[in-house]
Every structure is written in C-alpha cells, then in structure tokens.
Amino acid sequence: MIGYYGAALLVLISAGKLVTARRAPIGPGMRCLLGFFLSMAAALAISADPTIRLVLPGDPPLAALLCRLGSNALQLLAVHLLLRLARTVEAPVPRTRWWPLPLCWALLAMCGADIAAHLDQVDAPGFGLLPGLIGYQVTLVGYAVCCLTGFVRVLTRHARRCPRGSFRTGLRVIVAAAAATVGWALYSGLPSLWLPLTGLGGNFLPLSRMLGLVVVALWFAGVVLTTWQGVVERPLRGLAARRGIRAVTPLWSVLVAALPQLHLAPTAWHGAEFSLYRRLIEIRDGLLALRGHVPPELAEWVRESARRHAAPADEPTTTAAGLAAALVAREHGRGWPEPPAAPTAATPSIAAETAWLSAVSAAFTRSPVVAEVRDRAVAAYATPARNGPSPG
C-alpha cells in the first residue's frame, strides 16, 4: 500500500500545480514537471504488491516481472522528462532526443523475455549471470545515469547564474541529490555485479534501502528550499532586520531627541523590515538636516584626534564626529552656509544602508575620536553666535 500512497501524493501534487496554473498557459517546463510526477506515480502504483497480485493471480513470478518491466519503463520516461525539465532553463532550449528512450524500452522488453524464459531457474546459482538479466540492469541503469548526469550539468550551470539565497542553495542541494541518485542507481541497479564482488548477500537490500532514504531526503530538502524559498528566507530577513534596528537605534535615538519632527507618524505594524526602513529614512533625514551645522574645522579635528588616539579616521567615524559636532553647534545656534558634502553608502540598497549606518552608530557611541570632537565643539561653541541660523 505504500506504493499507492506515494502515487496518490504525486497525483495530488500534479493536481495542485494544475490548479495553481489554471489561468496561465502550461509551458514546456510545467508539462515536463507534470509528466515526471505522473510517470513516477504510475510506476509506484504498478510495482505495488496489490497490483502484482491482480495482474496474474496464478503466476506470481511472471506477474512480478511484468509489473517490474512496466514500472521501470515509466521510470525511464520520468528521468527523460526530468532532463527535459532542466534544459528548459537554458536559452535557447537545446533539443533532447526521444529515440534513445523507445530503444531502451525495446531492449528492456527483449531482456525481460529472456528472464521470463528462465524464471524456473531463479534459485539456481548462476541466475544472476543470465545475459538477459545483466542486459536488463545495464540498460535500465545506463539510461538513468546518462539522463541524471545531463541534469546535474545543466542545473550546476544554472545555479551559478542565480543570485545568492535559498533558491540557489536549493538548486545545489538538488544537484547533490541527483549525484547521489547516480551513485545509488549504480549500486542498487546492478546486483549481478556487486553481489559477487562484495559478498554482501542478505545485507545488499538493507544497505540499498538506507542509501535510498538518504537520496529521498536530499531531494525533499532541495525541493523545499526552491519551492518555499519565501518561507525559508522570511524569518532570516526578520532576524537581520531586528539586528539592524538594534545597531542603528543609538544613532536614531539621539537624532529624534534633537529633532523630534523627524519621527514619522506611527502606522499599523508591518514587521521588523518595515520598522528598520523607517528608521533608516529618519536617520538620513536627520543627517541632512544637520549638515548646515557641521563645523568647517571638522576634518582637522578628526585627523588630530585620530592621530592622538591611534584610532581609524574612516568615513563612518568622520560622519559620526560630524554629527556629534553638529548637534553641539546647533544647540548653541551656530551654523555655516556651505556645509561639506556628507559621505553616502556606495550601494543604494537596504542592506548596504543598514551596514553603513550601523557603523556610524557604533562609532558615535564608542569611538574616542567622536568623543574628543564633541568636547572640542563644546569648547569652541559654548557661547551662542550673534549671527547665525536659528536651531532647527
């Protein structure tokens, strides 16, 4: 019954794909995917024990052979469709020859006829070396390995072109699963070769099943990562956003305390990513609003302080020092008409902006250079200027 359950699951997956794509035309890739699922479902159903008992109740060995032959033929069709599915990601889509598949079916049928003629010798010592049996195994494994090898090559190239993320990781897991399937097929599909060489005897099938479970687990993990990439990546993005909020909060708190008008009106809760985006906007607005209060002596102060403390005078430290001095100058009513240009992040993205402002926030709270520049600004501008822009 396990075969029927697996077949029913694959049919349900296919039906779900059809329902999802009912409003759009079914492309070549979707046709290959549906064909793969349905071929594997039919193969599982045909090879199930209840099906074998229904085919030829009076001749169980021949019924098992016929069902195995039909199941293996459908499995070859499935790996052929899998290769065609992988090639749909290439442009232009290369041709996949059909003729090797019916040729392999014909070879399987010929070898199956030879096996059927010798079914009464199944328990004989030399049955494993029967030419029909060896030919059957080589044909089945050879075609499957060729298709899976092509599948691995195509998907490996495609994964290199994909951006970093769970989808690319899933593709690489699928490539690993296909490579593991090749190894499993070479082992499990050639018992006439491995049993005499290894002498495993009764341990051959348990080891084959264990390897098969590993292969299935890899395929499942790869499919989950590629199909449900949003489910996998959304929690990671949420964690990264929360870390970003914690990193920029010291800088944000100082700016909002000095310039309360920066704080945007509260809205409905949209998650950590939205909150981080709002704080980045408010911080950038604050830095722009304070540019007119950055002292012209800032560069000299930063250079001297960095030399005195043997500390770096990089862009985040310079920006943080400029902010500290600007807050002091604004508090005492000092301003300048031509502020120096503020450094900006090189890459216009949320991740780059978060990293940049996190570095500025860390320098603002911990750098000795920023602390000394703040003290010098207090000493220089403690007396309000008579002529200068009003705070704000």
Residues 278 and 295 both lie in one domain: yes
pTM confidence score? 0.63
Distance (Å, whole) CA 158 – CA 151 = 11
Q: Are 276 and 354 in contact (CB under 8 A)?
A: yes
Q: How many CB atoms lie within 10 A of CB 144?
A: 23
Tokens of 353: 């902006």
Residues 194 and 212 both lie in one domain: yes
3-state secondary structure of 143: helix
Indicate the number of domains in the chain: 3
Residues 215 and 334 both lie in one domain: no
Q: Among 128, 161, 194, where does a domain finish? A: 161
387 in a structural domain: no
3-state helix, strand, coil in the chain (%, to 5): 75, 0, 25
Provide the residue range defining the domain that includes 94: 1-161
- At 261-311, the pLDDT tens digits run 888 776 656 778 888 888 999 999 988 888 888 888 888 999 999 898 888
Q: Are 252 and 279 in contact (CB under 8 A)?
A: yes
388 in a structural domain: no
Smallest CA-to-CA distance from 172 within 187, 189, 152 is with 152
Question: In Å, how far are 28, 37, 215, 242 from 152, measured between CA atoms?
Answer: 19, 19, 14, 38
Cα angle vertex 310, ends 304, 312, to 5°? 80
295 in a structural domain: yes
Residues 374 and 284 both lie in one domain: yes
Q: Among 161, 179, 211, where does a domain finish? A: 161
**Dihedral sign of CA atoms 13, 19, 23, 25 in order:** positive
Tokens of 223: 């499919």
Residue 349 has pLDDT above 60, yes or no: yes
At 89 the pLDDT is 84
3-state secondary structure of 97: coil
Half-sphere exposure of 89 (CA within 13 A, CB side): 18
- At 230-263, the pLDDT tens digits run 666 778 788 888 999 999 999 999 999 988 888 8
Residues 208 and 269 both lie in one domain: no
Q: How many CB atoms lie within 10 A of CB 314?
A: 15
At 201 the pLDDT is 65
Q: Are 88 and 32 in contact (CB under 8 A)?
A: yes
- At 77-118, the pLDDT tens digits run 999 998 998 888 887 878 888 899 999 999 999 998 988 888
Q: Among 123, 139, 161, where does a domain finish? A: 161
390 in a structural domain: no
DSSP-derived secondary structure letter, 99 = T
